[in-house]
Amino acid sequence: MNTVLLHFFNENKAFYSVKKGAIGIVGGMGPAAGVDLAQKIISNTKAKTDQDHLDQMLFSFPKTIDDRTDFIIGKTNKNPGTSIAEIILKMEKAGAVVAGLACNSAHAPQIFDQISAILKKKNSKIKLLHMIREVAFFIKKHYPDINNIGIMGTTGTYTVNLFDLIEEFGFATINISKEEQHLLHSAIYDSDYGIKSASSKISHKATSIITEICSKLKNKGAELIVFGCTEIPIAYNRQDFEKIPLIDPGLVLARALINEVAPEKLTTWHHQ
């Protein structure tokens, strides 16, 4: 993997720079999601040698970024957007020209707007992609006949109705009940069987819950389901559920990042 893991950074001088500009990834939200995004950039890039791949910077500093859902639901008043913006500015100084956040919940308005405000104040020129809008563009392009979109995600994304943004593109969103959301959230966060607690092997209970929620969304009329949490596709690596397309926003973001820096290197998308 040609991903640059920058665990040390001199505030006055970047020790790594690129001539053509690199892709920046804000990881650590959780850590596996950042690595997953970096890998998806690699697997969606046309390349025959190491040198054909694109430069990436993965900044994975989980201790510096407070939990996004905790902030959204009021468990903490420390906005993680501040730390995220500081990381993006460091990546820009090191040579990144475009950046993506490996976390759906980080795109909640109260977090993303904080990031944007800080970048603007610092006169940043880096282009920060918005994962949720990229998902809308993607569905519109590749699934033009689909209207009803089922949404799965953290309680943070659920609380702010984050994916309602895609309704601006003419879609209708279908959400799960509060009880179903509580169950799904446990599949992500539970300290015993949740996806975030699994360093390697994903529990059967977590995948069973995801299957159950997919089934409920299908019964509610979903024609396509968006996995609005970067951890869900890691645990449930499938392209469809009973012929219903499953959309991984991390994959969509990876392709959008490639398209920003080297569109000629983006692989052809093959969908169901």
Does 69 fall in a domain? yes
pLDDT at res. 5: 40
Q: How far apart are CA 115 and CA 203, in angstroms?
A: 34
197-205: long-range contacts at Cβ-Cβ below 8 A with a sequence spacing of 24 or more? 198/235, 202/234, 202/235
Number of structural domains (the chain) is 2
pTM exceeds cut of 0.85: yes
| Predicted confidence (pLDDT) per residue in 220-256, tens digit | 999 999 999 988 998 898 899 999 999 999 999 999 9
Contacts for 69 with CB less than 8 Å, ≥ 6 apart: 105, 154, 155, 156, 189
The whole-number pLDDT of residue 201 equals 77
Based on the domain organization, do 229 and 256 belong to the same domain?
no
Residue 95 lies in a domain: yes
How far apart (Å, rounded) are the C-alpha atoms in residues 225 and 257?
22
| 271 inside domain | no
- 151 and 190 share one domain: yes
| 34 lies in the same domain as 109 | yes
The DSSP letter of residue 110 is H
Same domain, 215 and 243: yes
Cα distance from N-terminal residue to C-terminal residue, the chain: 28
Q: Are residues 186 and 209 in the same domain?
A: yes
Please report whether residue 272 resides in a domain: no
Q: Are 232 and 195 in contact (CB under 8 A)?
A: yes
Alpha-helix residue ranges (DSSP H) falling in the chain: 31-43, 68-72, 80-94, 109-121, 131-142, 155-159, 178-189, 204-219, 232-235, 249-261
235 and 173 within one domain: yes
Tell me, yes or no, whether 146 and 110 share the same domain.
Answer: no
- What six digits make up the tokens of 118? 């800080």
Q: Is residue 231 part of a domain?
A: yes
- Give the alpha-carbon dihedral of 255, 260, 265, 268, to 10 degrees: 40
Same domain? 9 vs 126: yes
45 and 101 together in one domain = yes
DSSP 128-151: E--HHHHHHHHHHHH-TT--EEEE
CATH number at residue 190: 3.40.50.1860
Q: Quote the Cα angle for 235-103-25, to 5°.
A: 110
Same domain, 223 and 166: yes
Q: Which residues of the chain have pLDDT under 50?
A: 1-17
pLDDT of residue 197: 82
The three-class DSSP label of residue 172 is: strand
User: Is 16 a domain residue?
Assistant: yes
Task: Give domain status of residue 196, yes or no.
Answer: yes
How is 207-231 classified by DSSP, letter by letter? HHHHHHHHHHHHHTT-SEEEEESTT
- Residue 25 domain boundaries: 3-130+252-265
Same domain for 92 and 170, yes or no, is: no
Same domain for 121 and 178? no
